Structure 1
Amino acid sequence: MGMQPVVELKNLSKTIGKKKIIDDLSLSLYPGQITGFLGPNGAGKTTTIRMMVGLMNPTSGDVLIEGVSLADDFEGGLSKIGVIVENPEMYKFISGYKNLIHFANMHEGVTKERIDEVVNQVGMQNRIHEKVSTYSLGMRQRLGLAQALLHNPKFLILDEPTNGLDPAGIREFREHLRNVAENEGVSVFVSSHMLSEIELMCDRIAVIQNGKLIDIREMSETQESHYYIEALPLDATEVLLTEEGFTVESYKDGFIIHAEKGQIPALIQQFTAQKYELFAVQPYRKTLEDEFLEMTGGGQIAEAHTK
């Protein structure tokens, strides 16, 4: 990738007692891109995030924000980061707008115009002057996003941001997040156990297991062309597919093969010539859950917190 990363994790390691929690983790995060951070229970996701925001010091390695070490310029680095952890805590008995004014006062140079801008950005114009106690969880999540964006961060970290939201709220939040990444050029880093949501939200995923980064891939790579083939006789079908050079994986009553669309007509002709009983030839796409389980060897997916 030609552009410069906003955040770089360089050979990051963390040992607590005799246990290595994070093991030589390196990762670059780019502007305008949403990266999903996945891993089984106990993989080290929350420990990594804590080191990224300076709540925990690495045993070795470094976190760079726009090329500057967080250890060398802690305040400068944090000024470029926005964070949302699960359900943001707000002052419920004042308005959303007064909450934003309160948070704006914690940063230098956040103008009234900037507050109005983020209110519009997250679609809260009609409710911003009402008390937070009247907001739904989805509205509080939007307000949390507005708060995190007030100081024009270059990097946004979200830890389980859609927990508790209904499907409509999740979709709205996803759209606002995509808008922030694409139109503001913010690098977004999302840790979540909701794999179906990560699949819709992210440009790429990074997978951690036992403290090690085991895979980084573009979401387009998880959408390679596969086809489901169901035909009889079963054994002869597997032999034919193998002889034609396809990688064959048993699935339900047939097989999954990796094939390009243009290869399918000739393959069907082969089945016809052999007078096999052909019941199904249809596109098949592995879900992110399938991919995740393959990568981690079936590690547990769901979690509330990883220590």
Structure 2
Amino acid sequence: MEKIIEIKNLSKVYKNGRGITDINLDIHKGEIFGFLGPNGAGKTTAMKVMTGLIKPDSGDVKILGHSIVEEYQKAMGKVGCIIETAESYLYLTAYENLKQISRYYKNVDDERINEVLELTGLLKYKNEKPRKFSLGMKQRLGIAAAILSRPEVIILDEPLNGLDVEGMISMRNIIKSLVEKENATFFISSHLIHDVELTCTHIGVLYNGRMLNVDTMKNILNNYASLENYFVSEVERNGRI
């Protein structure tokens, strides 16, 4: 299978000793990869390095064959992402927000804007301003912005965090739909084990800045009662508790 994301010997450690150490990981086309770990495990640090927001101490990330360190523009050319928080212009409508973003891309027209609004369930709210939106609606607008340019790779940091049950179900359906309809590959971080289990095809467990294991969801559920059981087993087996 085609490798979409290649992470090699990636490290970034802060002065307080927290961060990530020697991460190695391959993500293949069409996967929904779940980057699973508790708060403070290093998930956001890894994703900031992956998207060029901070520089690694060592190692590299290649996206679609291009190094994030040496070929940043090419590496990020077909990537959509939300890191930490989905931001928007509160004084613009949902449509106007996406219209503003569309100016950065050559092939995004009004038809595409309406398409992503419909896909994310926001079409009927297109003329409303996000200051009136619920957290779930703001997250969906962030997703709409991230997928506007038809990216091949979509990187989402805690996209389910803070959503109610309906919002989580909606977000899962959006992610799965984009894989089916637009052949996207997802890299998703979360500490919400149950929702990762229902969303992702592959799982990587990050704990104290280190990768403990990577496996398919199918293999995990063939050998464990749930993803939570697998996670606890991996943490205990690696002597972290």
Q: For the residues of structure 2 that align with 1:84 and 1:110, how far apart are their CA atoms?
A: 19
Distance 1:87 1:48, change over 3 A: closer
Runs of 4+ in 1 over 4 A off after TM superposition: 17-20
TM-score w.r.t. structure 1 length? 0.72
> Alignment partner for residue 47 of structure 1, among 45, 48, 59?
45
In the alignment, structure 2 segments of 5+ residues that lack a partner are: none
Q: Is the 8 A contact 1:86 1:163 kept in 2?
A: no
The number of equivalent residue pairs is 239
Paired AA for residue 291 in structure 1: Y
Query: What does residue range 219-258 of structure 1 map to in structure 2 within 5 Å?
Result: 219-224=217-222
Distance 1:210 1:135, change over 3 A: closer
Name the structure 1 match of 2:26: 28
Name the structure 1 match of 2:118: 120
Name the structure 2 match of 1:199: 197
> Alignment partner for residue 287 of structure 1, among 218, 226, 229?
226
User: CA offsets, 1:142-174, max 9 Å, x none?
Assistant: 111110011121111111112221101110111
Q: For the residues of structure 2 that align with 1:194 and 1:201, how far apart are their CA atoms?
A: 11
Distance 1:220 1:71, change over 3 A: same
1:222 is displaced (CA, Å) by: 1.9
Paired AA for residue 226 in structure 2: T
1:128 is displaced (CA, Å) by: 1.2
TM-score w.r.t. structure 2 length? 0.90
1:99 is displaced (CA, Å) by: 0.6
Q: Which one is further off, 122-131 or 197-206?
A: 122-131
Q: Is the 8 A contact 1:94 1:131 kept in 2?
A: yes
Q: For the residues of structure 1 that align with 2:99 and 2:78, how far apart are their CA atoms?
A: 19
Name the structure 1 match of 2:139: 141
Q: Is the 8 A contact 1:24 1:212 kept in 2?
A: yes
Distance 1:127 1:44, change over 3 A: same
Q: For the residues of structure 2 that align with 1:74 and 1:220, how far apart are their CA atoms?
A: 34
SS of alignment partner, residue 286 of structure 1: coil
User: CA offsets, 1:191-221, max 9 Å, x none?
Assistant: 1111010010100100122332110011111
Paired AA for residue 202 in structure 1: C
> Alignment partner for residue 235 of structure 2, among 274, 281, 296?
296
Name the structure 1 match of 2:54: 56
Name the structure 2 match of 1:168: 166
1:127 is displaced (CA, Å) by: 1.5
Paired AA for residue 22 in structure 2: D
Distance 1:120 1:290, change over 3 A: same
Q: Is the 8 A contact 1:293 1:299 kept in 2?
A: no
Q: In the alignment, is residue 67 of structure 1 matched against residue 65 of structure 2?
A: yes
SS of alignment partner, residue 129 of structure 1: coil
User: CA offsets, 1:4-62, max 9 Å, x none?
Assistant: 11111112122445948322211111222111101234332122111100112122211
Q: Is the 8 A contact 2:44 2:83 kept in 1?
A: no
Q: For the residues of structure 1 that align with 2:149 and 2:141, how far apart are their CA atoms?
A: 14
Q: Is the 8 A contact 1:22 1:44 kept in 2?
A: yes
1:87 is displaced (CA, Å) by: 4.3
Q: Is the 8 A contact 2:68 2:75 kept in 1?
A: yes
Distance 1:93 1:41, change over 3 A: closer
SS of alignment partner, residue 197 of structure 1: helix
Q: Is the 8 A contact 2:48 2:83 kept in 1?
A: no
User: CA offsets, 1:86-119, max 9 Å, x none?
Assistant: 5412122321000101111233332222212212
